[in-house]
Structure 1
Amino acid sequence: MIIRSRRFRSALALFAMVAPGFLRRFVHTRLLGYRIDPTAVIGRSFIDVDRFEMGPGAAIGHLNVIRGLEDLWMAEASRIAHLNWINSVRRDKGFFEDVDRHLALIMGYNTSITIMHFIDCCAKVELVSRSVLAGYWTQVMTHTFDYRTARQDARPITIGERSIITTRCTLLPGVKIAERSIVAAGSVVHGQCRKPGFLYAGVPAKPVRELDFSQLFLTDELTIR
């Protein structure tokens, strides 16, 4: 029996957060309708989304709040660690009128979100395979106020394959990080980091140095652990 009432689903999500592991899985799969692989693991986190799928070996740690999304997809071996706030404003709230948006977090194969990040999913946020949101306190902001039109706007953010976003970065709406890139600590990314294989740094972030593709993280052989 899948519960459809928004209020009851939120209450069940809160109950699942404090319930024992076997009961938590029952609530998530049987009552909330989430598709969770038998080898996937969910800690004591609040997860209140419309649709959720976890692949083999995927994991969510403790004390995360994930709410308001239409879709949460976690591919094989993807991970969300602890104390992250992943949020969206639902369509029925009356914001973002006439804005085409997908309220989603899409995590590709072997991607990782570490600890204490804020991820705004008012538009889609996608981590392509083996990319990492590393360190602490990065803000991923998909929505903004457009002063020219006096309206809220939302645009998707993509972090390219094998790219690393380090500590205390800010990613602004519409950002696309090229594959095999590193964004240095404290950087503010506005627009698109188009050149793959570069270190981006500064406010706003600019390519400052080409990376050595022989470094372990940038090679095709590495699996993130």
Structure 2
Amino acid sequence: MRKTERYGVKEHNSLWQIYKTVPFLKVCKNFIFIQLGRYTPSLKVKNWLYRTFLRMNIGQETALALMVMPDIMFPEKISIGRNSIIGYNTTILAHEYLINEYRLGDVMIGDEVMVGANCTILPGVTIGDGAIVSACTLVHEDVPAGVFVGGNPMKVIYTKEEMEQRQIQQK
């Protein structure tokens, strides 16, 4: 179960009421720095932009590949540990707007996590240390530390114990 806070809305759908939930100028500022970061080839500059202007928590030596899309409205709810890789064109969401409500949730990505290209990480998800997420995966629930997951719907491909056994066999 994802850890999100729910906020009910009346009248129109929640996305129509977006600027009642997040200031317009904040979204404009975030848009500018996210677009700069998405196309910046320097990982150090990208991490500095995201830490400084978006208030994202990004660990040392973490690499966000080209075109990674952090949440434009609530990037400060995203935390990525040290020495992790977020693959090309991955989207990390900390919000979801529905018809009768919107939901917000922190996204916690641990240390030494590998997220493949073209993944979508939904709000309120925790990805444990050392986990691997296969390309094109919809991360809709927590991922335990050390496991290898993939697919849509996401499922465990190898448990932590199976991953450790595979590493021993490869030596």
Q: Which structure carries more helix by proportion? A: 2
Match of 1:183 in 2: 133
SS at 1:208 equivalent = strand
Whole-Å Cα distance in 1 between the matches of residues 91 and 114 of structure 2? 14
Which stretches of structure 1, 4 residues or more, deviate above 3 A after TM superposition? 212-215
Match of 2:89 in 1: 137
Count of paired positions: 128
TM-score with structure 2 setting the length: 0.63
Could you tell me which amino acid in structure 2 is paired with residue 73 of structure 1? R
Find the structure with the greater CA-based Rg. 1
Residue pairs, 1:1-225, within 5 angstroms:
45=36, 59-60=44-45, 72-73=50-51, 104-120=55-71, 122=74, 124-134=77-87, 136-147=88-99, 150-194=100-144, 196-209=145-158, 210-212=162-164
Whole-Å Cα distance in 1 between the matches of residues 64 and 165 of structure 2? 23
Q: Structure 2 vs 1, CA of residues 214 and 104 (structure 1 numbering), >3 Å: closer, same or farther?
A: farther
Whole-Å Cα distance in 2 between the matches of residues 139 and 125 of structure 1? 11
> 1:110: Cα distance to partner?
1.4
Could you tell me which amino acid in structure 2 is paired with residue 201 of structure 1? G
Q: Is the 8 A contact 2:65 2:89 kept in 1?
A: no
| Structure 2 runs not aligned, ≥5 long | 1-24, 38-42
Whole-Å Cα distance in 2 between the matches of residues 204 and 152 of structure 1? 22
TM-score with structure 1 setting the length: 0.49
Q: Is the 8 A contact 2:96 2:123 kept in 1?
A: yes
SS at 2:164 equivalent = coil
